[in-house]
Amino acid sequence: MHLIERIAARKVKIGVIGLGYVGISVASALAGAGFEVTGVEIKQERVAKINAGKCPIDGIEPGLPELIAKVTSSKNLVASTDYASLADADVVLIDVETPVATDSRPRFEALRAACRELGRVMKEGVLVIVESTIAPGTCARIVVPLLEKASGRKVNEGFSLGHCPERVMPGKLLKNLKELSRVCGGSNAETSDAMVALYRTIVEGKLDKADCTTAEMVKTAENTYRDVNIAFANELGLICEAVGVDFRRVRDLVNESPGRDVHFAGAGVGGHCIPKDPWLLVHGIEGFEPKLIAAARARNDSMPLHMARLVESALEEIGKRIYGSTLAVLGYAYLENSDDTRNSPSEAIVEHLQDWGAKVLIHDPWVEPYTGDLWSRIQGADAAIIMVKHDGYQNLDLAKLKSVLASPVLVDGRHVVESADAAAAGFVFRGLGRGRPRYL
């Protein structure tokens, strides 16, 4: 039976390598669609947790804990640390992390290891699909050579290769997986057709066929688009502060002009993807020096330092300085209602504040060891600094906040508090992008 018919009949075994945010979501969704799925993950405790029917991700992730409980109890999803369990898989997805190093160059160790280990065990005719985000050219330069060497088979003869980058975001993993369109990049047309058949079992969005390199390019370009646009919003926010106007108001009015869609300014850009995907996009292109993309990265990376300067300015207004102060950072994840701290702007601001001699208290409802009662965690601080728009920080009781702080200083990096409310509650207030009127 042809692969497409076997997919329709649920007669293919699927392997998923890497059971992080992306891998556990797609593995559960495919298991929920009736496939027999084996997940291979190097972290033993994660494997044990999944096999016990528990969700390995904290934070609000609608539907995922229930789905994992269901598909593990039916044994449609089984996790393992052993690559040998992929020997009878007909389709294998690769969902390992693909970070960049401090010099902004890709670190594809996990991807290389996954290809080498998979190549040793994969069977004749397997379809391998890389879902991880990778630099344009990575399928051709890294994935194919490693799989061919380890397996002794040739691409498009002994195995086929596809690249179908994920578009999910923590907090909406299953929803995004189901609703968003996907690019099915195949090493040949037949492979793209098989990928469309497979993803159609879990995706309601559009499925576009392409080649692998186009798929690599699209994913890294869409995240770079976001980074550059956020950088523009952040730069505009800084200009608004300097000019003495409110960024939100300016943004709303600019966006009334046709074709304009200014993003939000904020305390920084974090997560596994946006800070590194622009570097993946421009990696390995001979003689090309990124200008705009590099400038956008620098602007976004500068935002936590700017937040620290806002804290400094607010403290100065009450005759205090950062050195010797105790400062409370609200939110340590990079994203609201998530436990994901990768490249978190909060980590960067904490480093700046500590470098300048502050003692820093941290609260986050989702990130250990900072969970627990907000008020007791930040009791006695000289200022509160909102870094993340967690639900728990919306509608903050400002009177209560003032009563637990040693001095009434509030700095808001996510537009959670209105300036007028902060003033009415008696705070010395700074908001990112909120200039204090200077002119007319």
Ligand X SMILES: NC(=O)c1ccc[n+]([C@@H]2O[C@H](COP(=O)([O-])OP(=O)(O)OC[C@H]3O[C@@H](n4cnc5c(N)ncnc54)[C@H](O)[C@@H]3O)[C@@H](O)[C@H]2O)c1
- Active-site residues: which are they? 219, 273
Minimal CB distance to ligand X: which residue? 20
CB of 43 to ligand X, least distance (A): 5
Sign of the C-alpha dihedral computed for residues 423, 425, 426 and 427 taken in this order: negative
**Of 279, 251, 253, the residue nearest 266 (C-alpha):** 251
Contacts of 28 (CB under 8 A, 6+ apart): 64, 67, 68, 71, 77, 174
CB of 39 to ligand X, least distance (A): 9
Interface residue with ligand X among 7, 14, 19, 296 (CB under 6 A) is: 19
Between 135 and 307, name the residue whose CB sits nearer to ligand X.
135
Residue 20 found at the interface with ligand X (CB under 6 A): yes
Q: How far apart are the C-alpha atoms of 149 and 142, rounded to whole Å?
A: 11
Longest pairwise C-alpha distance within the chain: 78
Indicate the helix (H) or strand (E) that contains 189. Answer: helix 189-200
CB of 24 to ligand X, least distance (A): 8
Interface residue with ligand X among 61, 148, 166, 312 (CB under 6 A) is: 166
The answer to whether the CB of 391 falls within 8 A of the CB of 384 is no
Residue 40 found at the interface with ligand X (CB under 6 A): yes
Residue 42 found at the interface with ligand X (CB under 6 A): yes
Provide the β-strand partners of residue 130: 94, 163
Between 110 and 401, name the residue whose CB sits nearer to ligand X.
110
Site string for ligand X, 270-309 (x = CB under 6 A): --xx------------------------------------
Residue 97 found at the interface with ligand X (CB under 6 A): yes
CB of 404 to ligand X, least distance (A): 34
SS3 of 233, please? helix
Q: How far apart are the C-alpha atoms of 232 and 296, rounded to whole Å?
A: 7
Residue 76 found at the interface with ligand X (CB under 6 A): no
Between 19 and 30, name the residue whose CB sits nearer to ligand X.
19
Residue 125 per-residue DSSP state: T
Residue 17 found at the interface with ligand X (CB under 6 A): yes
**Of 306, 301, 299, 346, the residue nearest 327 (C-alpha):** 346
CB of 98 to ligand X, least distance (A): 4
Contacts of 328 (CB under 8 A, 6+ apart): 360, 361, 362, 363, 377, 378, 381, 383, 384, 385, 405
Indicate the helix (H) or strand (E) that contains 224. Answer: helix 212-243
Residue 170 found at the interface with ligand X (CB under 6 A): yes
Select from 17-25, 177-185, 188-196, 228-236 the region that touches ligand X (CB under 6 A). Answer: 17-25
Q: How far apart are the C-alpha atoms of 24 and 66, rounded to whole Å?
A: 13
Between 132 and 192, name the residue whose CB sits nearer to ligand X.
132
Provide the β-strand partners of residue 100: 106
CB of 90 to ligand X, least distance (A): 19
CB of 147 to ligand X, least distance (A): 14
Between 132 and 325, name the residue whose CB sits nearer to ligand X.
132
Site residues for ligand X, window 105-124 (CB under 6 A)? 110, 113-114
Residue 96 found at the interface with ligand X (CB under 6 A): yes
Between 21 and 247, name the residue whose CB sits nearer to ligand X.
21
Q: How far apart are the C-alpha atoms of 336 and 41, rounded to whole Å?
A: 27
Residue 95 found at the interface with ligand X (CB under 6 A): yes
Residue 387 Rama label (left phi>0; alpha psi -120 to 50; beta)? alpha
Between 16 and 349, name the residue whose CB sits nearer to ligand X.
16
Between 132 and 187, name the residue whose CB sits nearer to ligand X.
132
Interface residue with ligand X among 38, 132, 192, 325 (CB under 6 A) is: 132
**Of 233, 176, 155, the residue nearest 61 (C-alpha):** 176
Tokens standing for 118?
Answer: 């998979």
- Residue count, binding to ligand X (CB under 6 A): 27
| Chain contacts with ligand X (rule: CB under 6 A) | 17-23, 40-43, 46, 95-98, 110, 113-114, 132-133, 166, 168-170, 272-273
